[in-house]
Amino acid sequence: SGNLHRKRINKLIKNLPQKPQEILSLKIVSNLSFKEIANILNMLVDHLRRATGSVRDTSTKIEHTAEIY
């Protein structure tokens, strides 16, 4: 169900450190590019990309979860 999907996504996001949580929220909720997110967070895009390894892993899990439901 949609509610179970939302709970799983929230659990995956909450398991991340604070900065990756923020990045993932901006990426998913606001649908921003990494360049836009880097500007908002006052980070270099390269630093942002290095900080997002766990974000990419979690994002992949979320996409896989969405495909199941």
Q: Is the pLDDT score of 69 beyond 60?
A: no
SS3 (DSSP) at 53: helix
Which pLDDT score is estimated for 64? 65
Tens-digit pLDDT profile for residues 10-61 = 777 788 888 888 887 888 778 888 899 999 999 888 887 777 665 666 666 6
Q: Which residues of 36-64 are buried (b: 16+ CB within 10 A; e: fewer)?
A: ebbeeeebeeeebeebbebbeebbeebee
Per-residue tokens: 24: 């993932």
Per-residue tokens: 25: 């929220």
SS3 (DSSP) at 54: helix
DSSP state of 42: T
